[in-house]
Amino acid sequence: MAAVLRKGAEESGAVFLQIRRGDGTYMVLDQARRGDGDLVWVKPLGDAADDEKVRAYFEKQVRFDPDIWILEIDDREGRAFVDEPIV
């Protein structure tokens, strides 16, 4: 299951993925470009974070850029279903 938790600007909003695992933890992914220009997903909160830490992180991101998109993927195994590598 996936849901849009926050709808940002269609033309310029950054996209964040919030992966909810079966154990109640989350993995947050933010898209970035490597030095060679390739797109990758980075884990700004590490491999796992609790609800409080994720909520605080997104509150800070919205204050910085109110145009962000937040998509939640609910997957017991913690899969993100993205093509770009996760680093």
Look at residue 74 in the predicted model and tell me its pLDDT: 97
Q: In what order do the strands lie in the sheet with 26-33?
A: 2-6, 69-74, 15-20, 26-33, 39-42
The helix (H) or strand (E) run that includes residue 39 is: strand 39-42
CATH of domain 2-74: 3.40.1530.20
What are 35-67's pLDDT values in tens digits? 999 999 999 999 999 999 999 999 999 999 999
- Are the C-beta atoms of 20 and 80 separated by less than 8 Å? no
Cα separation, 54 vs 45, in Å, equals 8
What are 3-24's pLDDT values in tens digits? 999 999 888 889 999 999 999 9
Three-class secondary structure of residue 53 per DSSP: helix
